[in-house]
């Protein structure tokens, strides 16, 4: 993989202080800022299709006729530059039918912009399976689940070094014209060298999708993505967010509810009632069991994503892992920030993520997430004995 240090000066535009830090692969097309302004009609509000803590996303028309989703990093977001560069270098080197396609970027002056292919049906949001006349029947949901699994299996096992996404959630899955899913937003992605069992890192992601062992110790493995996928899988089948405080107490947390129904051999009751009973009950229950396997407490009990794709044997399932099961912790009120990162500092009890809403349902981005939504602030934890 060839790389170069980006230091281009366009038509008298002085580079920002950050330009000396920018390392991009040679495969990335570089757009001029003037082209980006023209494509979005000077960032016309009518073209805005998403917004997050790192900036905004616009629909744009490029000079070559392509329709693009243009992700603009806000100039004051210094925290976001690292995620911006990570996203470029990760996604530019890989192509898969279930991953978004990067057209290029703009790194000019203080401007940081990513240019992606535009996908018509925007983001998959938990609970939002009937929208603007678009009906998500069982076949569509099953295909979405399989597509996301294939995309993750590709990142985890076919790419070298392996890639851990770290933020698999409903709002980071975009649907194309045929409702085929594409995994988006690689700003938090990490590379896993083949000779390492885990990567120690600051905990980042979205409450509700975080694997408990990763949230507690900051030791990142591919199984953290598997856990997030398990949560997403159950959201898609049930049509529910992983947390809903408006429901009765016993129904608020999706994983806990799924486990209770599994123990009573009543998993079919978790399937979305919006389907009107028109679904393959055996297949739906098998998907829910796969979701439970993916969220097992022990990482060694969770399957690999390639195993999920091959339709795993779901005979032996134990209780899913919940953060509250192995440590007392309390998530503080979110502080204002422009990052989606969850910082592991001070932990005391949220009882299965009950202190913070998941952005899976509240993110108003179209899935080309520009970083954090307003609900994805920094959370501080303190470990207590």
Helices (H), strands (E): how many in the chain? 10, 16
Taking CA atoms, 13 is separated from 36, 180, 221, 342, in Å, by: 15, 41, 42, 36
- Please give the pLDDT value at position 4: 29
Return the pLDDT at 357: 37
* 85 pLDDT tier (thresholds 50, 70, 90): confident
Superfamily of the domain at 130-362: Transferase(Phosphotransferase) domain 1 (1.10.510.10)
The CATH code for residues 3-117 is 3.30.200.20
* pLDDT greater than 80 at residue 229: yes
Task: Indicate the pTM of the whole model.
Answer: 0.74
Query: Which pLDDT score is estimated for 250?
Result: 75
Q: What are phi and psi of 148, to 5 degrees?
A: -65, -40
- Residue-range domain boundaries for the chain: 3-117, 130-362
Give rounded-to-5 percent helix, strand, coil for the chain.
30, 20, 50
- Average pLDDT, integer, range 59-65: 94
The percentage of the chain sitting over the pLDDT mark of 70, rounded to a whole number, equals 68
* Residue 207: closest CA among 250, 243, 260: 243
Determine how many CB atoms are found less than 10 A away from the CB of residue 195: 6
Is pLDDT at 283 greater than 80 in this prediction?
yes
Query: What is the predicted pLDDT for the residue at 328?
Result: 46
> For position 219, what pLDDT does the model report?
82
Q: What is residue 2's predicted lDDT score, i.e. its pLDDT?
A: 34
Across the strands, what pairs with 56? 51, 72
122, 49 Cβ separation under 8 angstroms: yes
Percent of the chain with pLDDT over 90: 39
Residue 369 pLDDT > 60, yes or no?
A: no
Higher-confidence residue of 89 and 359: namely 89
Ranked by mean pLDDT, the top range of 81-85, 357-361, 370-374 is: 81-85
Query: How far apart are the C-alpha atoms of 352 and 94, rounded to whole Å?
Result: 35
Does pLDDT of 69 surpass 50? yes
Contacts of 233 (CB under 8 A, 6+ apart): 145, 287, 288, 290, 291, 294
Compute the distance between CA of residue 184 and CA of residue 98 in angstroms, rounded to an integer. 9
Looking at residue 221, its pLDDT comes to 92
pLDDT score of 92: 83
Task: With both helix axes pointing from N to C terminus, report the angle between 281-294 and 222-238 in degrees, rounded to the nearest 10.
Answer: 150
pLDDT for res 336: 41
Structure confidence at residue 377 (pLDDT): 30
Mean pLDDT of the residues in the chain: 75
Catalytic annotation, residues: 167
CA distances (Å), 115 to each of 24, 73, 88, 102, 201, in order?
14, 11, 10, 6, 28
Taking only the tens place, the pLDDT of each residue in 132-167 is 445 689 999 999 999 999 999 999 999 888 999 999
Q: What is the pLDDT of residue 270?
A: 96
For residue 75, the model assigns a pLDDT of 63
- pLDDT reported for residue 384: 32
pLDDT greater than 60 at residue 282: yes
Asked if pLDDT for residue 303 goes beyond 60, the answer is: yes
The string of DSSP letters for 277-302 reads T-S-HHHHHHHHHHHHHHTBSSGGGS
Q: Name the residue with higher pLDDT: 194 or 95.
A: 95
Whether residue 5 has pLDDT greater than 60: no
Distance CA(316)–CA(182), nearest Å, equals 31
Torsion of CA 248, 250, 254, 258, to 10 degrees: -140
Q: What is the pLDDT of residues 21-31, one digit of tens each?
A: 445 656 688 89
Q: Given this model, what pLDDT does residue 52 score?
A: 65
The predicted pLDDT at position 319 comes to 81
């Amino acid at each position: 993989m060839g790389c170069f240090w980006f230091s281009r000066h366009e038509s008298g535009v002085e580079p920002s202080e950050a330009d000396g830090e920018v390392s991009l692969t040679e495969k990335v097309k570089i757009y001029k800022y003037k082209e980006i302004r023209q494509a979005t009609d000077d960032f016309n509000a009518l073209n805005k299709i998403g917004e997050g803590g790192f900036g905004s996303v616009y629909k744009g028309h490029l000079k070559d006729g392509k329709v693009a989703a243009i992700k603009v990093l806000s100039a004051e977001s210094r925290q976001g530059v690292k995620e911006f560069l990570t996203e470029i270098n990760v996604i530019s080197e890989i192509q898969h039918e279930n991953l978004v396609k990067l057209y290029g970027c703009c790194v000019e002056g203080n401007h940081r912009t990513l240019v992606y292919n535009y996908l018509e049906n925007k983001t998959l949001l938990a609970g939002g399976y009937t929208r603007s006349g678009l009906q998500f029947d069982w076949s569509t949901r099953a295909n979405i689940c399989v597509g996301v699994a294939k995309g993750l299996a590709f990142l985890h096992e076919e790419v070298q070094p392996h890639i851990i996404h770290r933020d698999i959630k409903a709002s980071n899955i975009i649907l194309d014209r045929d409702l085929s899913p594409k995994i988006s937003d690689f700003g938090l992605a990490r590379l896993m060298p083949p000779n390492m069992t885990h990567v120690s890192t600051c905990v980042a992601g979205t409450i509700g999708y975080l694997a408990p062992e990763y949230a507690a110790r900051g030791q990142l493995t591919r199984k953290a993505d598997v856990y997030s996928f398990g949560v997403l899988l159950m959201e898609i089948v049930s049509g529910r967010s992983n947390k809903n405080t408006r429901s009765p107490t016993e129904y608020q947390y999706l994983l806990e509810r799924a486990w209770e129904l599994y123990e009573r051999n009543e998993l079919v009751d978790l399937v979305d009632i919006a389907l009107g009973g028109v679904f393959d009950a055996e297949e739906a229950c098998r998907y829910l069991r796969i979701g439970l396997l993916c969220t097992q407490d022990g990482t060694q009990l969770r399957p690999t994503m390639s195993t999920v794709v091959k339709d795993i044997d779901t005979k032996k399932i134990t209780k899913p892992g919940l953060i509250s099961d192995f440590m007392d912790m309390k998530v503080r009120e979110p502080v204002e920030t422009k990052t989606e990162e969850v910082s592991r500092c001070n932990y005391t009890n949220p009882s299965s993520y009950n202190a913070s809403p998941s952005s899976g349902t509240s993110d108003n981005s179209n899935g080309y997430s520009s970083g954090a939504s307003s609900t994805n602030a920094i959370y501080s934890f303190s470990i207590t004995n």
